[in-house]
Amino acid sequence: MKLLFALSALSLALLPLTGCDSSQDKAAMAKAAGTPVSAALVVQRDIVETQEFPGRLEAIERVAIRPRVSGYITSVHFTPGSLVKKGDVLFTIDARPYQAQLNKAEADAHSARARADLAKVELERAERLLADRAIAQREFDERASSQKELDATARAAQAATEAARLNMAYTKVLAPIGGRVSKAEITVGNLVDGNAVLTSVVSTDKIYASFEGDEDTYLRVAGLKRAGAPVPVHIALNNEQGYPHAGELDFIDNRLDTNTGSVRMRAVLKNAERNLVPGLFVRVQVATGNGRQQATRAVLVNERAIGTDLNRKFVFIVNRDGKAEYRAVTLGAQAGGGLRIVQSGLQPDDKVILDGLQHIRPGAALSVQTIAMDSAIPTQGKTPSHDKNG
């Protein structure tokens, strides 16, 4: 009986040791198998290299409509928000005072011209009398001076007539450009002067898309512009897929903002359908490759595979030994679908690790699950930051 009890006690004492050995074996096996990760072969595609920036639409021409003469508004001739042509009448100002001024100016001009014509006839008569020595030289000089004075008075009266005629024409406020008119700021019956803004008109046939480009984009497109090559630009509104509106870069500012590291740029686009309105937010896509929208072969990786090491970008690849290998990379533009162009640092047959970067160190053994690069959904938020030395 004592022997049986002793054997039972020994068995119970050995049980924890057996369990401990089992746990250690599992940990060792897991370590030998490597860190589980998902990885994908890099993608090669023929693409047009582009950069995307947020921007705003701006009117090429915007005119604040002000009256050239003062008076009471008698008519408004447009519907707010409608399209108008250059020369269309927008407002009418009471013309009666200006018509009266024009009538008086015309009468004064006729009277002054009649006196000037009479003085001219008398001067011609005086010339004949002077030749016959019938009048003194002094009298002739006085008549000549009088004729010149009356002729100048007649010309001044004619100029006053033209000014009165202009004021009369200004009682009809015309659209100086074609485009879309805003609402009337002044209604019928109000007294206006030259300081009053009656409405505004913006051009619609073409439109600007202004945006802030980064330094790398500036260096690329500025070189193309200097070489005389067009730089294609496409834009999209917030509710549009792709970039359906085509244009061309037409302006690059002469300095880089040292605070933001950006340069002001502007594209011009046709607006035949009139659906691009000044002030709208847009996505601007700039072709930064060869400037001719021609595709080039590029290596692409999913953006979730890219890490940050101080001021450098990197990825981990699975090397031939099945271990993690650090690769510094130079990035290009976004390529859509969560993919990013890699300009240097990767080879076409490299297999890039897509997840679990925070648990990976260079030389770590890996347990790899291979997936397609395109099937990896980019994570939201900032790209993770890692130190290659752990």
* Mean pLDDT (whole number) for 250-276: 94
**DSSP one-letter string for 148-189:** HHHHHHHHHHHHHHHHHHHHHHTTEEEPSS-EEE---SS-TT
pLDDT digits (tens, 9 = 90+) for 206-256: 999 999 999 989 998 988 888 888 899 999 999 998 899 999 999 999 999
Non-local (6+) Cβ contacts of 30 within 8 A are none
Instruction: Give the percent of the chain with pLDDT over 70.
Output: 86
Sequence ranges of the domains in the chain: 33-48+296-375, 52-60+203-287, 96-170
d(CA 295, CA 298): 9
The closest of 319, 356, 301, 282 to 57, measured between CA atoms, is 282
The closest of 337, 334, 377 to 355, measured between CA atoms, is 377
Burial per residue of 64-92, b for 16 or more beta-carbon CB atoms within 10 angstroms, e otherwise: ebebebbbebeebebeeeeebeeebebbb
d(CA 261, CA 276): 29
Q: Does pLDDT of 384 surpass 50?
A: no
pLDDT digits (tens, 9 = 90+) for 311-322: 889 999 999 988
CATH superfamily, domain at 52-60+203-287: Efflux pump adaptor protein, beta barrel domain (2.40.30.170)
pLDDT digits (tens, 9 = 90+) for 135-177: 889 988 888 999 999 999 999 999 999 999 999 999 999 999 9
The closest of 213, 176, 183, 180 to 198, measured between CA atoms, is 183
pLDDT digits (tens, 9 = 90+) for 100-121: 999 999 999 999 999 999 999 9
For the whole model, what pTM was predicted?
A: 0.65
Q: Does pLDDT of 347 surpass 60?
A: yes
CATH ID of 96-170, from 1.10.287.470, 1.10.3720.10, 2.160.10.10, 1.10.101.10: 1.10.287.470
The amino acid at residue 58 is E
Non-local (6+) Cβ contacts of 315 within 8 A are 301, 305, 306, 307, 327, 329, 342, 345, 346, 352, 353
pLDDT at position 387: 41
pLDDT at position 295: 67
pLDDT digits (tens, 9 = 90+) for 8-66: 444 444 445 444 455 555 444 545 567 888 889 988 888 777 888 999 999 999 999 99
Q: Does pLDDT of 333 surpass 60?
A: yes
pLDDT digits (tens, 9 = 90+) for 371-383: 888 764 443 333 3
Instruction: Give the percent of the chain with pLDDT over 90.
Output: 54
Task: Match 């993608």 to its residue by tokens.
Answer: 43
pLDDT at position 309: 81
Fold of 33-48+296-375: 2.40.420
For the four alpha carbons of 82, 273, 51 and 315, in that order, the dihedral sign comes to: positive
d(CA 120, CA 116): 6
The amino acid at residue 256 is L
Position with higher pLDDT, 323 vs 385:
323
d(CA 375, CA 352): 13
Backbone angles phi, psi at 210, to 5 degrees: -100, 140
* Mean pLDDT (whole number) for 70-87: 97
Burial of 352 (0-12, 13-18, 19+ CB in 10 A): buried
